Amino acid sequence: MFPFDMLTEEMLNSCKYYKVTYHEYGKSIRDYLDYMEIFKSVEFHGFIDKCSRVTPWKYKNLKNYYDENERKWISKYDESSISSILTNHIFNIIFRNCTKIRQFSLFNISNMTIRNNSFKNLSNLCYLEVGKPYYLSNIFRDCKKIKKIVIHFLFYNNIRDRWFDSSLLINFLKDQKELKAIHFSNREDRNSRHYYYQLKPIPEELLIQIHSIEELGLDCLMLPYKQLNTLSKLKHLEITLRKLKPETVAAFDNGLCPLLEVLKFQGHLPPLDVLAKFIEKTKGHLQCFYIKNPSQNHYDHTQLLLKSIAKSCPKLNSLSTIINITKDLSFLKTLLISCNELKYFTLMSIDFMSQSLLQEQLRMMDENWGVVHEKCQYKKRKNIDSIRFNKYQIKLKNNLIYH
């Protein structure tokens, strides 16, 4: 029943392991394409290749190679991947028939597919995730209802980064009157000999377009000095840093997000005293503070951080933070008393303390708290002493919470 065109059929028949055969089926009673609301290209590729029993050792899902004629890096699915042959054909079907799609995620699509299709059928799109910014001008000029967009940028160190120099993204954002959330992901070339993480500055003109957003995610990107002040309506901020630079510290030291409700970090953190100062400026709105996979080897000012949370976050209900348990228990007690809406929290202790002893201390503070999980993590790096984290998840009794 799949409407193969001749070219697609020839490509499928040219595969080493497969051959196209047809079976006679009656026409479906319902048009199932009309029910599709979510399409994620990466999951589609995995599903098709799993169904076609392509084993992992036969091909690599995605190959990067340098085209000498084009003078640029190109990402391409291996020819033995069935899904790569079907990709453009599938996109043609979706763009022409699936009028109710609300969530769309795509990464590799040919210029021919873009040129040959009208995309007015995607006018109901609310969530968009793309792997290349230039898709925005050709595909989504007819989509005015997008509420959240995730853009993945793949940078190569030997190619000049031009994505902020172009007006493409800025013009796209001008048309999105309902946009509330933006996530930028900087994926550099990890195979490069000179691979390193950079912090790409976000220009002032782009900030003018996103000043009213409520959710911002930055992966290996950071707002330049003082620019956090521009995002006065921000409620949700997620930062992933693999390298800490002075510009990052300055942004948090001078930044102001008075309505912030969610603050999440992965990887490197700003100095804890700077972070404590930033939290104080959230003016009591913060409800979730989350740290994942911290990367530094020294953590000073843990007490300042706990004091800031206790003082400035009365509405906090979810907490994951670093602590020196043997020195900071009194500050933890103050935090638990002040943040009386807290439902559960995770402590990553930089020193050792047994679960039973922590349980006893918590019971002295409030008998409703209990330790439900303990996990030790070891961080080892070249020329740096290993760090031991004791990770405790703690929750209120009689409250079922998953973490």
Domain boundaries, the chain: 31-124, 260-403
Q: What percentage of the chain has pLDDT greater than the value 90?
A: 20
pLDDT at 28 over 80: no
Q: Which has more confidence, 58 or 149?
A: 149
Tell me the β-bridge partners of 65.
74
pLDDT in tens, 156-192: 443 444 444 467 788 888 888 899 999 988 765 444 4
Question: How high is the pLDDT of residue 193?
Answer: 38
- pLDDT, mean of residues 245-272: 88
Q: Which band of pLDDT confidence, cut at 50, 70 and 90, is reported for residue 387?
A: low
- CA 218 vs CA 94, 237, 274: distances in Å: 30, 8, 19
pLDDT in tens, 291-331: 988 876 678 899 999 999 999 999 999 999 998 888 888 88
User: Could you give the 3-state DSSP secondary structure of residue 330?
Assistant: helix
Q: Which band of pLDDT confidence, cut at 50, 70 and 90, is reported for residue 211?
A: confident
Amino acid at 210: I
Which of 67-81, 252-266, 384-398 is the least confident region? 67-81
CB 235 within 8 A of CB 214: yes
Q: Which band of pLDDT confidence, cut at 50, 70 and 90, is reported for residue 380?
A: very low
Beta strands in 242-368 (DSSP E): 262-267, 288-292, 318-323, 344-349
What is the rounded radius of gyration, in angstroms, for the C-alpha atoms of the chain? Answer: 25
Alpha-carbon distance 221 to 184, whole Å? Answer: 7
- pLDDT, mean of residues 256-261: 92
- pLDDT, mean of residues 265-292: 93
Which two three-digit tokens encode residue 350?
């930089």
Question: How high is the pLDDT of residue 313?
Answer: 95
- pLDDT, mean of residues 203-222: 80
Question: How high is the pLDDT of residue 255?
Answer: 83
- pLDDT, mean of residues 262-274: 92
- pLDDT, mean of residues 370-396: 62
Q: Which of 122, 160, 127, 158 is nearest to 141 (CA)?
A: 122
Question: How high is the pLDDT of residue 278?
Answer: 93
Fold of 260-403: Rossmann fold (3.40.50)
